[in-house]
Amino acid sequence: MPTVYKRSVIWLDAGGRTRQTIPATLTGAGLLVGDMAAFSTAAVVEYFEGVDTFTPSTPVGGTFPDVQDIARLTFKTGAGDLVQLALPAPNVGIFLPDGVTVDPSVITLIISDAIGNLCTPAGVAVTAFVGGTRGLRVSGN
């Protein structure tokens, strides 16, 4: 099987609307996206690219089986900027008895892996976990 690269490209139009395209290529989409931009009135404002990786796994379901259900985990940087991390289809066991508040003692592995690694778009790493709540994903990581 050949190596496949996918590039996530965010396009911005003159009205402020965005659209994501995800071309798959065998050698990288740099030239292709450049060619597309030459024939578009929208601008490429963000992209990332990498080898397409599939991991064989099966969802287990549960109380919140839909990926639209999330636990919104909030972290902060040393300067106090907030960074949110969305955990899709969270396990019911991560919540306190109220069913809404995340119990940080249950997600210590996530917290320890995020601190010093999860960052703002400017590259400032988070230094502390603030809290988490259950909700529906509107935006987030």
Q: Environment class of residue 64 by beta-carbon count within 10 Å: exposed (0-12), middle (13-18) or buried (19+)?
A: buried
Whether 27 and 74 map to the same domain: the answer is no
Residue ranges making up the domain that contains 82: 69-136
Residue 125 domain-assigned?
yes
State how far the Cα of 18 lies from the Cα of 10, in Å rounded to an integer: 6
A 10 A CB-CB count for 132 gives 27
Whether 86 and 123 map to the same domain: the answer is yes
pTM strictly above 0.85: no
Whether 46 and 102 map to the same domain: the answer is no
Q: How far is CA 141 from the centre of its chain?
A: 3
- pLDDT, tens only, 67-117: 778 899 999 999 999 999 988 889 999 999 999 999 999 999 999 999 999
State how far the Cα of 37 lies from the Cα of 101, in Å rounded to an integer: 44
Residue 127 domain-assigned?
yes
Whether 75 and 125 map to the same domain: the answer is yes
| Distances, alpha carbon 7 to alpha carbons 21, 34, 37, 44, 130, in Å | 8, 12, 14, 12, 32
